[in-house]
């Protein structure tokens, strides 16, 4: 545990992001989306990818020899629309969907019990004004950002839904939301899946995220001899030894890495 109450991995400050520029063949980059690459918005559909972000990611991915993957609670379809026309290697729905380099996809299918639980959630949330149900197929997120006074009701509804769905589905808390997702899906397992194959295998993973669900990914990155960076203020307990204050700062670092590699190519 260091002086900031942080554990694990070697310190990796934003200024040493340049280590990637110096030795791109040694690194693999795993990036969360909401709260890491894009700013938190009032509703799930209101997020925007700022101009240049998708292009920066594409250049960084090329610079890393393809060893970049997005690891997110979002579904593949949403991410592809957000970063159109780019289709990055991706773990969606916290790892319930994987799109590996080359485009092969692996996905968990919803069970009848999960579909019933989801229908009950839609019905239950309809009586909670301001609460948003984000139906993601094999996962579902219920958001109370616009109605924080409904937090306890949302949590109770989600506990009931988890019982209905059965042991193959589990709850995941996040930023003003609770999700029901396949229990087998976790961001750490997703990182390990990528690390088993080319071009990730043998590299040092750097994982960047902002939330509880990213801690599994941090643990996996550190176990592979890599590093972790948490986005946000310094209060959250985290395994990450590195900190970056905001998604805007993260985007600046990516843009400057992309610029360096663009310049070198000319
Ligand atoms: O793993 P991530 O890429 O960070 O995705 C986690 C969840 O992010 C989204 O919810 C969060 O962002 C919303 C938009 O800014 C915000 O309104 C909400 O309060 C946040 O919790 C997304 O809607 C979820 O599906 C993701 O699982
Ligand atoms: Mg996030």
The residue whose CA has the least distance to atom 7 of ligand 1 is 73
What pLDDT is stored for residue 21 in this prediction? Answer: 83
80 is known as an active-site residue: no
Range of the domain at 144: 112-182
What pLDDT is stored for residue 62 in this prediction? Answer: 96
143 lines ligand 1 (CB under 6 A): yes
Indicate whether 9 belongs to any domain: no
The residue whose CA has the least distance to atom 17 of ligand 1 is 43
Which of ligand 1's atoms lies nearest the C-alpha of 136? 25
Query: Which candidate in 32, 186, 210, 211 is catalytic?
Result: 32
Q: Of the candidates 155, 182, 209, which is a domain's last residue?
A: 182
Q: Of the candidates 154, 182, 210, which is a domain's last residue?
A: 182
Indicate whether 1 belongs to any domain: no
Q: Are 84 and 213 found together in one domain? A: yes
Question: Rounded to a whole number, what is the largest CA-CA distance in the chain?
Answer: 58
Q: Are 18 and 101 found together in one domain? A: yes
Provide φ and ψ at 191, rounded to 5°: -60, -40
174 lines ligand 1 (CB under 6 A): yes
Distance 38 CA to ligand 2 centre (A): 9
Distance 44 CA to ligand 1 centre (A): 6
CATH number of the CATH domain containing 161 = 3.30.70.1020
Distance 181 CA to ligand 1 centre (A): 14
Distance 32 CA to ligand 2 centre (A): 5
Q: Are 165 and 117 in contact (CB under 8 A)?
A: yes
Ramachandran assignment for 166, one of left (phi > 0), alpha (psi -120 to 50 degrees), beta (any other): left
Indicate whether 174 belongs to any domain: yes
Q: Are 92 and 21 found together in one domain? A: yes
Q: Are 154 and 136 found together in one domain? A: yes
**What's the total number of domains in the chain?**
2
Residues with CB under 5 A from ligand 2 (ion): 32, 34-35, 210-211
Could you give the C-alpha distances from 43 to 146, 161, 248, in angstroms and in order? 8, 22, 19
Which of ligand 1's atoms lies nearest the C-alpha of 37? 3
Q: How many CB atoms lie within 10 A of CB 151?
A: 14
178 lines ligand 1 (CB under 6 A): no
What pLDDT is stored for residue 6 in this prediction? Answer: 37
74 lines ligand 1 (CB under 6 A): yes
Q: Are 211 and 99 found together in one domain? A: yes
Supply the pTM of this predicted model.
Answer: 0.94
What pLDDT is stored for residue 58 in this prediction? Answer: 97
Q: Of the candidates 161, 182, 203, which is a domain's last residue?
A: 182
Q: Are 194 and 99 found together in one domain? A: yes
Q: Are 81 and 44 in contact (CB under 8 A)?
A: no
The residue whose CA has the least distance to atom 21 of ligand 1 is 175
Q: pLDDT tens, position by position, for the chain (266 residues)?
A: 333 333 444 445 555 577 888 899 999 999 999 999 999 999 999 999 999 999 999 999 999 999 999 999 999 999 999 999 999 999 999 999 999 999 999 999 999 999 999 999 999 999 999 999 999 999 999 999 999 999 999 999 999 999 999 999 999 999 999 999 999 999 999 999 999 999 999 999 999 999 999 999 999 999 999 999 999 987 889 999 999 999 999 999 999 999 988 887 77
The position carrying tokens 């009950």 is 120
- Please name which of 258, 192, 265 lies closest in space to residue 224, comparing C-alpha atoms: 192
Say which ligand is closest to the CA of 73: 1
Q: Are 103 and 19 found together in one domain? A: yes
97 lines ligand 1 (CB under 6 A): no
Indicate whether 131 belongs to any domain: yes
Q: Are 177 and 98 found together in one domain? A: no
40 lines ligand 1 (CB under 6 A): yes
Q: Are 20 and 99 found together in one domain? A: yes
């Amino acid at each position: 545990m260091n002086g900031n109450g942080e554990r694990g991995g070697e310190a990796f400050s934003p200024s040493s992001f340049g280590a990637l520029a110096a030795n791109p063949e040694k690194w693999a980059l795993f990036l969360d989306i909401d709260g890491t690459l894009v700013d938190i918005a009032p509703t799930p559909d209101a997020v925007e990818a700022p101009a240049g972000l998708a292009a920066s990611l594409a250049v960084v991915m090329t610079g890393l020899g393809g060893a970049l993957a997005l690891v997110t609670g979002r579904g593949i379809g949403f991410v592809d629309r957000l970063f159109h026309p780019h289709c990055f290697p991706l773990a969606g729905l916290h790892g319930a969907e994987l799109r590996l380099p080359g485009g092969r996809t692996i996905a968990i299918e919803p069970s009848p019990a999960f579909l019933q639980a989801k229908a009950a959630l839609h019905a239950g949330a309809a009586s909670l004004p301001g609460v948003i149900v984000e139906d993601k197929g094999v996962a579902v997120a219920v958001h109370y950002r616009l109605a924080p006074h409904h937090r306890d009701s949302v949590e109770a509804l989600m506990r009931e839904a988890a019982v209905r769905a059965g042991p193959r589905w589990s709850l995941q808390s996040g930023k003003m939301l609770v999700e029901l997702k396949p229990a087998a899906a976790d961001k750490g397992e997703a990182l390990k899946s990528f690390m088993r194959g080319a071009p990730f295998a043998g590299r040092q993973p750097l994982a960047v995220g902002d939330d509880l669900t990213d801690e599994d990914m941090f643990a996996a990155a550190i176990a592979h001899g890599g590093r972790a960076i948490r986005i946000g203020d310094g209060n959250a307990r985290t395994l990450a030894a590195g900190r970056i204050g905001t998604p805007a700062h993260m985007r600046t670092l990516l843009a400057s890495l992309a610029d360096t590699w663009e310049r070198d190519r000319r």
